[in-house]
Structure 1
Amino acid sequence: MPLSPRSKLACAFLIPLSGLFACLAADGIRTEAPVGRWRQHDVQRPKPKVVEPADAGIATKPPKDAIVLFDGTNLDAWKSPSGKSWKVIDGTMETVPGSGMIETKGKYGDIQLHIEWAAPNPPNGKGQDRGNSGIFLMGQFEIQVLDSYKAETYADGQAGAIYGQYPPLFNASRPPGEWQAYDIAFRRPRFDTSGKLLEPARITVFHNGILVQNNEEPFGPTSWLKWLPYEDHGSRGPITLQDHDHPVRYRNIWLRELPERPAPKAVDDRPKSVALSTDLLDRYAGQYLLNDKANAPKATIAREGDHLTITFPFRPRPLALEPISETQFDLPFTDGRFTFRKDNAGQVTGVHFRIGDGERELTKVNP
Structure 2
Amino acid sequence: MFTRSTWLGRMGLFVAAGASLGLAGDQDPIVHVPTPSGWRQHDVRRPKPPVVAPGEAPAATPAPADAVVLFDGKSLDAWSSADGGKAAWKVADGGFEVAPGTGAIQTRESFGDVQLHVEWASPNPPNGKGQDRGNSGIFLMGQFELQVLDSYKADTYADGQAGALYGQYPPLFNASRPPGEWQTYDVAFRAPRFDKSGAVREPARMTVFFNGVLVQNNEELTGHTSWLEALPYEKGVDHGPIQLQDHGHPVRFRNIWLRKLPDRPGPSPENRQTPKTIALQPAELDALAGVYAAGTDPHAMRIVMTRQGDHLRFKLPFRPTPLEIVPVSATHFEFPQTDGRFVFQKDAQGHVTGVKLTIGDGGGSLFTKIKP
Q: What TM-score, normalized by structure 1, do the two folds share?
A: 0.92
Q: Distance in 2 between matches of 1:254 and 1:98?
A: 25
Relative to 1, partners in 2 of residues 1:187 and 1:172: Cα closer, same or farther, differing over 3 Å? same
Q: Distance in 2 between matches of 1:235 and 1:256?
A: 16
Which residue of the other structure, out of 243, 258, 267, is the alignment partner of 1:255? Answer: 258
Q: Distance in 2 between matches of 1:8 and 1:285?
A: 72
CA contact (8 A) 1:338 1:351 kept: yes
Residue 233 of structure 1: how far off its partner (Å): 5.5
Aligned to 1:201: 204
Which residue of the other structure, out of 341, 347, 351, is the alignment partner of 1:347? Answer: 351
Residue 101 of structure 1: how far off its partner (Å): 0.3
Structure 1 counterpart of 2:221, which letter? Answer: P
Aligned to 2:71: 70
Relative to 1, partners in 2 of residues 1:2 and 1:55: Cα closer, same or farther, differing over 3 Å? same
Relative to 1, partners in 2 of residues 1:51 and 1:9: Cα closer, same or farther, differing over 3 Å? closer
Residue 295 of structure 1: how far off its partner (Å): 3.3
Residue 71 of structure 1: how far off its partner (Å): 1.4
Aligned to 2:291: 287
Q: Distance in 2 between matches of 1:223 and 1:77?
A: 26
Residue 199 of structure 1: how far off its partner (Å): 1.4
CA contact (8 A) 1:103 1:238 kept: yes
Q: Distance in 1 between matches of 2:240 and 2:230?
A: 20
Relative to 1, partners in 2 of residues 1:107 and 1:333: Cα closer, same or farther, differing over 3 Å? same
Residue 266 of structure 1: how far off its partner (Å): 2.8
Aligned to 2:32: 25
CA contact (8 A) 1:205 1:212 kept: yes
Aligned to 1:85: 88
CA contact (8 A) 2:33 2:229 kept: no
The residue correspondences of 1:121-270 to structure 2 (distance < 5 A) are 121-232=124-235, 234-267=237-270, 268-270=272-274
Residue 357 of structure 1: how far off its partner (Å): 2.4
Residue 297 of structure 1: how far off its partner (Å): 3.1
The one-character-per-residue Cα deviations of 1:126-176 (angstroms, maximum 9, x if unpaired) are 111110000000000000000000001111110000111111110000000
Structure 2 counterpart of 1:275, which letter? Answer: A
Q: Distance in 2 between matches of 1:129 and 1:201?
A: 28
Structure 2 counterpart of 1:146, which letter? Answer: L
Q: Distance in 2 between matches of 1:283 and 1:193?
A: 52
Residue 282 of structure 1: how far off its partner (Å): 1.2
Q: Distance in 2 between matches of 1:206 and 1:68?
A: 19
CA contact (8 A) 2:81 2:105 kept: yes
CA contact (8 A) 1:19 1:228 kept: no
Structure 1: gaps (5+ residues)? 29-34
Determine whether 1:362 maps to 2:364.
Answer: no
Aligned to 2:11: none
CA contact (8 A) 1:158 1:167 kept: yes
Relative to 1, partners in 2 of residues 1:182 and 1:189: Cα closer, same or farther, differing over 3 Å? same
The one-character-per-residue Cα deviations of 1:170-192 (angstroms, maximum 9, x if unpaired) are 00000000000000111111122
CA contact (8 A) 2:189 2:205 kept: yes
Identical positions, percent:
60
Relative to 1, partners in 2 of residues 1:72 and 1:233: Cα closer, same or farther, differing over 3 Å? farther
Q: Distance in 1 between matches of 2:118 and 2:157?
A: 24
Q: Distance in 1 between matches of 2:329 and 2:262?
A: 38
Residue 287 of structure 1: how far off its partner (Å): 0.3
Residue 26 of structure 1: how far off its partner (Å): 5.8
Aligned to 1:3: 5
Residue 94 of structure 1: how far off its partner (Å): 0.7
Which residue of the other structure, out of 294, 297, 304, is the alignment partner of 2:301? Answer: 297
CA contact (8 A) 1:285 1:303 kept: yes
Q: What TM-score, normalized by structure 2, do the two folds share?
A: 0.91
Q: Distance in 1 between matches of 2:138 and 2:79?
A: 14
Q: Distance in 2 between matches of 1:208 and 1:183?
A: 8
CA contact (8 A) 2:74 2:94 kept: yes
Residue 3 of structure 1: how far off its partner (Å): 2.2
The one-character-per-residue Cα deviations of 1:238-286 (angstroms, maximum 9, x if unpaired) are 0000011111000110001111111133354233110122222111111
Q: Distance in 2 between matches of 1:2 and 1:213?
A: 21
CA contact (8 A) 2:341 2:357 kept: yes
CA contact (8 A) 1:289 1:363 kept: yes
Relative to 1, partners in 2 of residues 1:328 and 1:137: Cα closer, same or farther, differing over 3 Å? same
CA contact (8 A) 1:145 1:159 kept: yes
Q: Distance in 2 between matches of 1:44 and 1:27?
A: 17
CA contact (8 A) 1:10 1:100 kept: no
Residue 19 of structure 1: how far off its partner (Å): 9.4
CA contact (8 A) 1:26 1:36 kept: no
Relative to 1, partners in 2 of residues 1:215 and 1:205: Cα closer, same or farther, differing over 3 Å? same
Alignment partner of 1:354: what SS?
A: strand
Residue 226 of structure 1: how far off its partner (Å): 2.3
Alignment partner of 2:159: what SS?
A: helix
CA contact (8 A) 1:10 1:81 kept: no
Matched residue count: 360
